[in-house]
Amino acid sequence: MDLASTIVFAGGEYRRYDEAKVGLLTHGLQYGTGCFEGIRGHWIPDERELYLVQLKEHYTRLHSSAKILLMTLPHTVDELVEITVNLCVRNRFQTDIYVRPCLFKSAETIGVRLHDIPDAFAIIPVPFGSYITTSHGLRLCVSSWRRAEDSMAPPRAKITGLYVNSALAKSEALMNGYDEAIMLTGDGDVAEGSAENLFIVRNGTLLTPDPSANVLEGCTRRSVMELAAREFNVPVVERQIARGELYAADEVFLTGTAAGIVHVASIDERVVGNGEMGPITAKIARMYARIVRGEEPRYRHWVTPTYAPRAQSATP
Ligand SMILES: Cc1ncc(COP(=O)(O)O)c(C=O)c1O
């Protein structure tokens, strides 16, 4: 299926991608005044089923991002879940996908502000494979770009304009031969990757920067913290992480909807452990991979099947 004929949800209707356009002066494009989500769908050929991952969690975060930006989503979380399932059914996807809901200031006028401007909402689903290569561990570098501060624009909201920060860091890393960047806070503590949260393992404890380190409060991050504690009895601590602890860590991994759970082989040329995926990372990554493919009955509430009878009968 090509992008032009993909069915999207825009302006309250299901329509073709090439019939859902925005103008050049659109506020969200000119000023980055918008917020968005990224949601994964995993196609399981044997079951002929597409599992959408943590829809409610993503749409709850979108509501929160919208509130921070003085915007209002025109649908409840439950309605958004239903619309997303319908969208996938209408597109008859039989492949892994990525769903991009976005809410943006839609006025075509000059003048930067948030209040008093209409919002527009769209959901665009696209076929999507791996985001970052996972066959080898990632080679990371600490970025020269610092993570945007909450006092500048809150990173806990997934704000369109804030992704310039991520893009600068990611391009710098790739252009210098690395796979991904780690951004530090203004104070020099570890924050996160360009589109992933970061975890380290030290002496059997799983550590991740707490939300005050200007990180996006990731859905995968929360899942990993839950799984580590509940399934594997691994203590989990949210706290400040110093740059030096990255180099001293036994294991390091990144988490994100697009990336999944990916192990880190080196940071700034220091090999992490022996460079291979460590045992705690492996346990969590294996379990998470099963859960998002609908293979763990106890975690079926983390996924929404697209083609199950409930979803089909819900198609308007
Ligand atoms: C800056 C940033 N941090 C972390 C994440 C991971 O969040 P999630 O697990 O919800 O995808 C993302 C991806 O959305 C991101 O863009």
Q: Which residue has the least CA distance to atom 5 on ligand 1?
A: 196
pLDDT at position 285, please? 96
pLDDT at position 242, please? 98
How many angstroms does the Cα of residue 196 sit away from the middle of ligand 1? 5
Q: Mean pLDDT over residues 173-182, rounded?
A: 97
Instruction: Provide the 10 A C-beta neighbour count for residue 249.
Output: 22
pLDDT interval class at 258 (50, 70, 90): confident
How many angstroms does the Cα of residue 34 sit away from the middle of ligand 1? 16
User: What is the DSSP track for 78-147?
Assistant: HHHHHHHHHHHHHHT--S-EEEEEEEEE----S---STT--EEEEEEEEE---SS--SS-EEEEE-SSPP
Q: Which residue has the least CA distance to atom 6 on ligand 1?
A: 256
| 117 phi, psi to nearest 5 deg | -135, 135
The answer, yes or no, to whether residue 204 has pLDDT greater than 80, is yes
The answer, yes or no, to whether residue 21 has pLDDT greater than 90, is yes
CA distance 125 to 40: 9
pLDDT at position 134, please? 62
How many angstroms does the Cα of residue 309 sit away from the middle of ligand 1? 31
Q: Mean pLDDT over residues 93-106, rounded?
A: 97
Going from the C-alpha of 98 to that of each of 104, 124, 131, 235, the distances in angstroms are: 19, 9, 10, 32
Tell the CATH superfamily of the 138-277 domain: D-amino Acid Aminotransferase, subunit A, domain 2 (3.20.10.10)
The response to whether residue 196 sits with its C-beta less than 6 Å from ligand 1 reads yes
Please report, rounded to a whole number, the percentage of residues in the chain having pLDDT higher than 70: 97
CA distance 206 to 281: 10
The answer, yes or no, to whether residue 260 has pLDDT greater than 80, is yes
pLDDT in tens, 1-15: 799 999 999 999 999
pLDDT at position 312, please? 45
Q: Which residue has the least CA distance to atom 12 on ligand 1?
A: 195
The answer, yes or no, to whether residue 315 has pLDDT greater than 60, is no
Instruction: Provide the 10 A C-beta neighbour count for residue 162.
Output: 19
pLDDT interval class at 135 (50, 70, 90): confident
For the CA atoms of 20, 26, 29, 32, what is the dihedral angle to 10 degrees? -120
CA distance 249 to 237: 14
Q: Mean pLDDT over residues 64-84, rounded?
A: 98
Q: Is residue 88 within 8 Å of 97, Cβ to Cβ?
A: yes
The answer, yes or no, to whether residue 23 has pLDDT greater than 50, is yes
pLDDT at position 133, please? 66
Annotated domain spans of the chain: 7-129+297-313, 138-277
DSSP-derived 3-state class of residue 190: strand
CA 3 from centre of chain: 21
For residue 277, give the nearest of 146, 138, 177 by alpha carbon. Answer: 138
Q: Is residue 302 within 8 Å of 223, Cβ to Cβ?
A: yes
Please tell me which residue in 67, 158, 170, 283 is annotated as part of the active site.
158
* Fold category of 7-129+297-313 in CATH: D-amino Acid Aminotransferase; Chain A, domain 1 (3.30.470)
The response to whether residue 37 sits with its C-beta less than 6 Å from ligand 1 reads no
Q: Mean pLDDT over residues 291-309, rounded?
A: 95
The answer, yes or no, to whether residue 249 has pLDDT greater than 80, is yes
The response to whether residue 221 sits with its C-beta less than 6 Å from ligand 1 reads yes
Q: Is residue 132 within 8 Å of 192, Cβ to Cβ?
A: no
Report the atom number in ligand 1 closest to the C-alpha of 192: 3
Q: Mean pLDDT over residues 177-196, rounded?
A: 97
> What are the beta bridge partners of residue 121?
103
Q: Which residue has the least CA distance to atom 4 on ligand 1?
A: 196
pLDDT interval class at 313 (50, 70, 90): very low
The response to whether residue 209 sits with its C-beta less than 6 Å from ligand 1 reads no
How many angstroms does the Cα of residue 253 sit away from the middle of ligand 1? 13
Ligand 1 mutation target, pool 216, 261, 292, most atoms within 8 A of CB? 216
pLDDT at position 129, please? 84
pLDDT interval class at 136 (50, 70, 90): confident
The answer, yes or no, to whether residue 148 has pLDDT greater than 60, is yes
Residue type, 105: K
The answer, yes or no, to whether residue 227 has pLDDT greater than 70, is yes
pLDDT interval class at 310 (50, 70, 90): low
Task: Please say if 158 is a catalytic residue.
Answer: yes
Helical axes 219-232 vs 55-68, angle rounded to 10°: 130
